Chains A and B, each alone.
Chain A
Amino acid sequence: MEKLLSPDIGLSIWTAVTFLLLVLLLGRAAWRPLVQALEERERAMRTEREAAEAARKSAEEIKAQLDRELAQIQHKTQELLAQAQREGATQRDQVIRAAQEEALRMAEKTRIQLEEEKNRLVRELRNEVAGLSVLAAEKLLKKSMDPAVQKNALEDFFKDMGKSKLR
């Protein structure tokens, strides 16, 4: 058992030579093709992932662009609608005001016409009354009045007539 902890240097040399040869040979025969295939695959996967990432990004950009345009269109529509409403309201106000003015004007005109008509009728009535009065007075006077009274009475009458005519 004393040999357990006393290394056989010859075996160490064998080991080192075997192991280093193994490293060399396996590196050539096994690891290099394997690692190359692995790295090739990883590169392909990375390229694919990057392409997918780029496609996703561009799709997102397009979507954002469309959203922006949609928002603009909505904004514009609302603006146009608001403007149309404003214009409609203005026009309505104008029409109403014009109609009111027209109505007022027509009422005024009618009133003036009526006034004139009334004045004319009054004038005619007065003339009629004056003629009738004169006729009545003539008849009365022809009957029984002394000339003096007739004269006074006629003068008063005509004075009154004149007054009332002047009014």
Chain B
Amino acid sequence: MDMKHMLEHHILDEVWLRLPFLNGLLPWSKHLCMMLLAASLLLIFLPLAARGNLGRTAKGLVEALVLFIRDEILEPNLGHAGRYYLGYFCTLFLFILTCNLLGLIPFGATATGNIAVTLALASTTFFLIHIAGIREQGFSHYLRSIVPAGVPVWLWPLLYPIELIGFITKAFALCIRLFANMIAGHIVILVLFGLIFVFGAVNPWVGLVVTAPASVVLVLFVMCLELFVAFLQAYIFTFLTAIFVGGAVHPH
């Protein structure tokens, strides 16, 4: 197995079969399994923790997370409207975080390191922005609030496409940011391990004695970094979604 196959095996999705309807549109794959595993874990443990069946510590942890998202992320951006979206944002944060972390355990795969998954998450944000805007302001008022106040009417045909491109760019940036951050750490780790074999091809003893310890130390460091990035990217995705939704809910 050469380097290319090794990389593809660890980074790319593995489609095991195509479900036999809709022209085989829906795959059954490794990343889908990891994603469903993350969702199942959340579905099993979160209700138990929220009811206090897993001890006070677990309940306190979940409460602290909910309070943080409510008071530090939603309250400054959405104000009182944030109450309606609290569950969405908590789920978003924990779903991304769990997917990120499942990619760090052995034999796991990072579903959020797949551009199709981040694309879907960014799309839900894209729709949430407009749904929240219409819900809080009403349809016509929201449509008017998309263009900045005070712009003459004859400029509107120019501004709506620009604003639409703006929305798409925001969602696209969310998609790429999460995807790239999740996959970059994995690639660096694989490259560091690959160095062992590159040097081992030159001289097996150099690869074993010199490169292997150095690589392992560096990989350990990158793993710690990835652990941090897993939390950071989940937070950033949630926080940016809150900012965008807040911009639609309170346009000024």
Residues of A participating in the B interface, judged by any CB pair closer than 8 Å = 1, 3-16, 18-23, 25-27, 29-35, 38
Contact = CB atoms under 8 A, between A and B. Distances in A.
Contact of B91 (A5, A8, A26): A26
Interface string B36-57: 1001001100110111000000
B4 interface: yes
A27 B87 contact: yes
Interface in B128-181: none
Contact of B12 (A4, A12, A16): A4
Interface stretch (B27-35, B203-211, B220-228): B27-35
Contacts of B2: none
A16 B115 CA distance: 13
27 contacts: A1-B4, A1-B12, A3-B8, A3-B12, A7-B116, A8-B27, A8-B29, A8-B116, A11-B32, A12-B117, A12-B119, A14-B26, A15-B120, A16-B124, A19-B124, A21-B39, A23-B87, A29-B47, A30-B47, A30-B50, A30-B62, A31-B87, A34-B62, A34-B63, A34-B66, A35-B86, A38-B66
B120 A23 contact: no
B112 to A, nearest CB: 10
B86 A31 contact: yes
State the main secondary structure of chain B at its contact with A: helix
B36 A31 contact: no
A90 B26 CA distance: 116
Listed from nearest, the 4 A-B pairs whose CB atoms lie closest are A15-B120, A27-B87, A7-B116, A31-B87
Contacts of A5: 115
